Amino acid sequence: MSESDPPLLVDSHCHLDFPDFEGEQAELVARARAAGVTRMVTICTRLRNEPAVRAIAEAHAGVFYAAGTHPMHAAEEPLATVEELEALSLHPRFIGIGETGLDYHYTADSAAVQAESLRIHIEAARRTGLPLIVHSRDADQDMARILTEEHRAGAFNGVMHCYTSGQELARVALDLGFYLSMSGIAAFPRSTEIREIFAAAPADRILVETDAPYLAPPPYRGKRNEPAYVVHTARVGAELLGMTEYEFASLTTLNFERLFRKAVA
């Protein structure tokens, strides 16, 4: 493969089971492939929806999945168990634990159950060896504390998905061996601080994602996002790191394969 070939990207975080995409998964995957996005990870945010998410991954080559309880749903859903997550991890297309995490933007009142859920997912990541997929919003101090405490209790790895938090949480996460994932928000004109965090991060710890159907990058901002649009975020990432688009695609693909080893197997 050479730079004359189209760059091959991975959308490391999307939600192909969401109602926005109902009945369109085959077309979405085809458009992604045409854009050079050869693999994508569709994320289950409520464990009761896991069968539907699994079915999407099974139906499309290059689509993998992960499952967990999103922090904004932690108070509404039964707490996951470590054993339940371990059982799901046996599926060949299941490559990560989560998304899980802390979100105090709208759901700070459920902080305690969010933290309990997060710690359950961390233990599952430890036991399975699969990476933890972490959502963090307006919870930097608690997230840094819990990740640090849990890492001292036993190592695990993971990614801070759609990273939009502050510099200190980024430092803590990177010091623990975590990866940071760049979403379309990094391409928004006013996201200077986020771009600075990615520019300062080790290049071998950066992933790229859409979080589709949310957070479409320019020129699609405000519209429904989809995996094909990760190329626009990657273009911003390449400029930020002083790379060609091909180099950035190669870099983030290698990073994805290093973290999500099961996707390679």
Question: Residue ranges for the binding site for a divalent metal cation?
Answer: 13, 15, 99, 135, 161, 211
d(CA 186, CA 163): 9
CA 35/CA 217 separation, integer angstroms: 15
Cβ atoms of residues 161 and 211 within 8 Å: yes
Distant-in-sequence, close-in-space partners of 88: CB < 8 Å, separation ≥ 6: 50, 67, 94
Local structure of residue 210 (DSSP, 8 states):
-
- CA angle centred on 66, ends 222 and 188, rounded to 5°: 25
Binding residues: 13, 15, 99, 135, 161, 211
* Look-up of token digits 């990177």: 174
